[in-house]
Chain A
Amino acid sequence: MSAPSVLYDAPGPKARTRNAFYTVLFAIALLAALWWVISAMNDKNQLDWDKWSPYLAGTEAWTTYLLPGLQNTLIAAGLAMLMALPIGALFGIARLSDHWWIARPAGAIVEFFRAIPVLLMMFFANEAYALFTDIDRDIRPLYAVVTGLVIYNASVLAEVVRAGILSLPRGQTEAALAVGLRKGQLMSNVLLPQAVTAMLPAIVSQLVVIVKDTALGGALLGFGELINQARPAQSYYGGNAIATLIVIAVLFILINSLLSWFASWLERRLRRRKKGSGAVLGTDMIEEQAPGMHLTGRATGENTAGGL
């Protein structure tokens, strides 16, 4: 976007007055909404200091509820990512296979698991572990959450890997074949190393999705992560639901903003780099892709193509 924007002219005296008027109007509307929320909270005594003090002034609430919850969130997200990545890479590469009897089933599995909600797989895993294994009751929710996340995210990452490999210039494949590399060598020595670099930002932003999805396990499977602590904490501290939820939301927002920022920093860095093929999978392309549509159309640089 050029300065200040092509959507409107540089404001003259009249436009400046008008913008100032809108600024004031919008600020008043915002403040009115804020006032409405705050007075509603005040009516239910949600702004009293004793509702907030466990989180702002003490450490007990943090060590009993929040920090163990946060730890569980991070453990589940980390485990899920570590397991989903190799499985996803396997399926992504299988989908690119020259043999239809490998490519088609891999494609069908990936599309199927991307089409169904992650929560369904968590419910299934939870019940399957309860029936067919003797995993302890206490640890079973963690297993179920991680299993569900791995199945879903492996199929998402399979698409990312595929898009990453397809985003590399054709010359890479041609040159490798020309010097006599076999297909396996081409993949492991030439394409995959470059694709992994290109995929890094997309992988980090998928981590945001995983962290957000761990909360499902807390709300529905009794997995002791952050949001699971909301109900016990708010009843222990005398019904401070608003304060508890805000603190939990802020923790999630901090983690995810940090990850998003890191992803876009990686993307900027990789785009600037002179070495390599210059292929980068952006962070924006990963969000919740639809089954039956292909990522590859938007894989490289399309949204930077000289628009507004």
Chain B
Amino acid sequence: MFDLFSEDYDILGAFWVTVQLTVLSAIGSLIWGTILVAMRVSPVPVMRAFGSGYVNIVRNTPLTVIIVACSLGLSTTLGWTLGGDDFDESGFRLAVLGFIAYTSTFVCESLRAGINTVPVGQAEAARALGFGFLQVLTLVVLPQAFRSVIAPLASVLIALTKNTTVAAAIGVAEAALLMKEMIENESDAIFLVTAIFALGFVILTLPTGLLLGWVAKKVAVKR
């Protein structure tokens, strides 16, 4: 048996990195996903083509390939470190970049489904008032769409939390990488080690699901 909170293994620190990865990627992919969905429904054909092309290509690429490409391709080969001073810092930033690129496609698809739930009359009324495309989208349609996609977006957020483990592939010191190290060193306690990390992820994901499920019911547009 090993000492759980010994100085050899910083379990809480590793999960803190997981949380940081999740939060930063979530914010980034929410922004980029919203921009993508605006492009996908815009009146400009080139933007529509770019939006749907990006989503179809990126969501069919394994996240692992994207993350490895960020490290091996962008960092090692092209020398882009995104302003990170050392290996750890640039690895973290590259991982966040990869997660944003990937997760935003799911945000975009959820939002597009949300736009489809807004009654046609809403947009028609907005146009009758003389609103342009961006006004219709940002003042009338998207606010209602966001309220109806809280639950799907929560699913995306939880999937993102679990997906941050992929960052272990490029050596970001988050929970899964620490688990790999611990499970190899403490081979007499693999059940305990697995249980600890599984519990950690349950603690991160389950309340998110319950809380956002409640919020989704609360803010749903009554029609």
Interface residues, chain A, CB within 8 Å of chain B? 1-2, 4-9, 11, 15, 19, 22-23, 26-27, 30, 40-41, 44, 46, 112, 115-120, 123-124, 127-128, 131, 208, 211-216, 218-220, 227, 230-231, 234, 239, 241-242, 245, 248-249, 252-253, 256-257, 260, 284, 287-293, 297, 302-303, 305-308
Contacts and interface: CB of A to CB of B under 8 A. Distances in A.
What interface size band does chain B fall in?
Answer: 35 or more
Nearest to A211: B62
Given A5-B43, A19-B44, 5 more contacts: A6-B127, A123-B194, A231-B72, A245-B73, A256-B60
A216 B194 contact: no
A-B pairs with lowest CB-CB distance, top 5: A288-B159, A292-B209, A215-B64, A256-B60, A219-B169
Contact of B197 (A1, A26, A120, A307): A120
Given A253-B57, A288-B158, A26 B209 contact: no
Interface stretch (B1-9, B88-96, B110-118): B110-118
Given A2-B120, A127-B187, A241-B72, A115 B106 contact: no
A19 B61 contact: no
Contacts of A118: 162
A148 to B, nearest CB: 11
Contacts, number: 212
Q: Tell me what chain A mostly uses at the interface: helix, strand, loop, or mixed.
A: helix
Contact of A120 (B79, B127, B156, B179): B179
B183 A124 contact: yes
B210 interface: yes
Given A19-B43, A44-B79, A292 B117 contact: no
Contacts of B133: 7-8
Contacts of B100: none
Given A123-B179, A215-B62, A288 B57 contact: no
A245 B65 CA distance: 8
Contacts of B208: 290
25 contacts: A7-B136, A22-B44, A44-B77, A115-B205, A116-B198, A116-B202, A116-B205, A117-B165, A119-B165, A120-B176, A120-B198, A212-B63, A219-B68, A241-B72, A242-B78, A248-B65, A252-B60, A256-B60, A288-B155, A290-B154, A290-B212, A292-B206, A293-B154, A297-B151, A308-B141
